[in-house]
Amino acid sequence: MNNTPNIVLGAGCFWCIEAFLQLFKGIKSVTPGYAGGTSENPTYEQVCYGIGNHAEVVKVVYDPAIITLESLLEVFWAIHDPTTLNKQGYDKGPEYRSALYYSDPTELDIIQSALAKAQTNWPNQIVTEIKQLAVFYDAEDYHKNYFANNPNKAYCQIIINPKLKDIRKKFEFMMR
């Protein structure tokens, strides 16, 4: 296993996932970006127009001594609806798909076990795309720490803030 365990997760808008995951103990960094597509060096505009079929994702670097992959995946499947294809809330399109891209193939058993456990919490079939990561592209700088840098923007107030309250209640024991 590598020295800095990481996983790439897609759960709708990367502004939301980044804001959520930054709250957890053991998360070293959360970087918004693009993965799962076919074009090289995609831009936000290209991803929004479906060019290259990339998903908005975050690369999560974590400390397994503080947060295990199992716990991180429990959070992942709880912070979005993994049963909706290409949609999270008002965000629609393949760039908002539920996706999990792993770097270390030895983690696949853990991922499959976590998926089976998560499925018991959802009445509909989980449709999360699960693949080995081919390449991760960093998003443009203005997407990084979006919620922290833009807390008063409408999207942050209307979409992210209410979800953050729910996540804080459900996972307060794991928060910083």
pLDDT grade for 4, boundaries at 50, 70 and 90: confident
Residue type for position 3: N
Given a contact cutoff of 8 angstroms between Cβ atoms, the answer to whether 101 and 57 are in contact is yes
Q: Is 167 domain-assigned?
A: yes
For residues 120 and 162, what is the distance between their CA atoms, to the nearest angstrom?
A: 25
In the chain, the N- to C-terminal Cα span, in Å, equals 26
pLDDT above 70 for 69: yes
Spot the catalytic one: 13, 16, 48, 156.
13
pLDDT grade for 1, boundaries at 50, 70 and 90: very low
Q: Is 84 domain-assigned?
A: yes
Q: What is the pLDDT of residues 9-62, one digit of tens each?
A: 999 999 999 999 999 999 999 999 999 999 999 999 999 999 999 999 999 999
Given a contact cutoff of 8 angstroms between Cβ atoms, the answer to whether 92 and 13 are in contact is no
For residues 8 and 32, what is the distance between their CA atoms, to the nearest angstrom?
A: 9
22: domain CATH number is: 3.30.1060.10
Residue 171: strand, helix, or coil: helix
pLDDT grade for 3, boundaries at 50, 70 and 90: confident
According to the model, what pLDDT value does residue 129 have? Answer: 98
Given a contact cutoff of 8 angstroms between Cβ atoms, the answer to whether 30 and 146 are in contact is no
Q: What is the pLDDT of residues 85-109, one digit of tens each?
A: 999 988 999 999 999 999 999 999 9
- Report strand pairing: 137-138 vs 27-35: antiparallel
- Counting the structural domains of the chain, the total is 1
Structural domain including 126 reads 6-174
Q: What is the pLDDT of residues 121-142, one digit of tens each?
A: 999 999 999 999 999 999 999 9
For residues 93 and 112, what is the distance between their CA atoms, to the nearest angstrom?
A: 25
Q: Is 1 domain-assigned?
A: no
Catalytic (active site) residue 156: no
Q: What is the average pLDDT value for the chain, to the nearest integer? A: 95
